[in-house]
Amino acid sequence: MSVTIPNEKQYDSDGFAKFVEIEKSKPGNENNRYELIDGCIYMMGSPNMTHYNIADFIEQIFKRYFENKGCRVLHAPVDLFLFDKRRTKLVGLPKVKIKNVVVPDLMVVCSQTQIKNKGIYGAPELIVEVVSESNPENDYIRKLNAYHMFGIKEYWIVNPIKKTARIYDLSIFNNPQEYNYTFENIVKSEIFSGLYVDFKQFTGFVVD
């Protein structure tokens, strides 16, 4: 379940890290996960098995495609720190206060300089989010806006509940393009030629 933490305070990444440390020190909260979107904290739900399986299915396809191409395919839980590149130092970490720290299901990173010990700093080339029943607004609205603003070139929203996929080509900032598929279609990347996922091959749906 995704729950907004009720607090009028706006957090940056430092305050967010302290909040998470305090919350996880409380009994029963050890496995809680959180994201920071536009300064607001959201508690993430644990993925169900179908969610896990479909993310793994896509990851294996991506890893085969990106092998020896100089890009890394990373899966959750890896923190992604988003910020405005125009206001950063020439060397080192950004000097601005970061108000977006998210945990995508999958991301493709093609610049080794973005990879730091705490996570990924700056926009990956491509992000995949698998929709959960409890927080579709995060993937379809909040994260879409953040990913567009901070320069992600392509964003996939995969919905195993509705068996649909939506691809946003964000590579031209002022002219984003939306492509909608069902799991009966071949889902193709708009920025990586030859990268596609055939969801008819996915057999990992798990029933309760």
Annotate 179-207 with three-state secondary structure. EEEECCCEEECCCCCCCEEEHHHCCCCCC
Query: Which parts of the chain sit beneath pLDDT 50?
Result: 1, 90
Residue 71: what pLDDT? 98
Tell me what pLDDT residue 8 has. 64
The answer to whether the Cα torsion of 37, 99, 36, 119 is positive or negative is positive
Residue 9's pLDDT is what?
83
CA atoms of 84 and 205, how far apart (whole Å) = 38
* Closest listed residue to residue 146, CA positions, set 94, 103, 179: 103
pLDDT at 1: 39
Distances (CA, A) of 47 to 26, 35, 118: 22, 14, 22
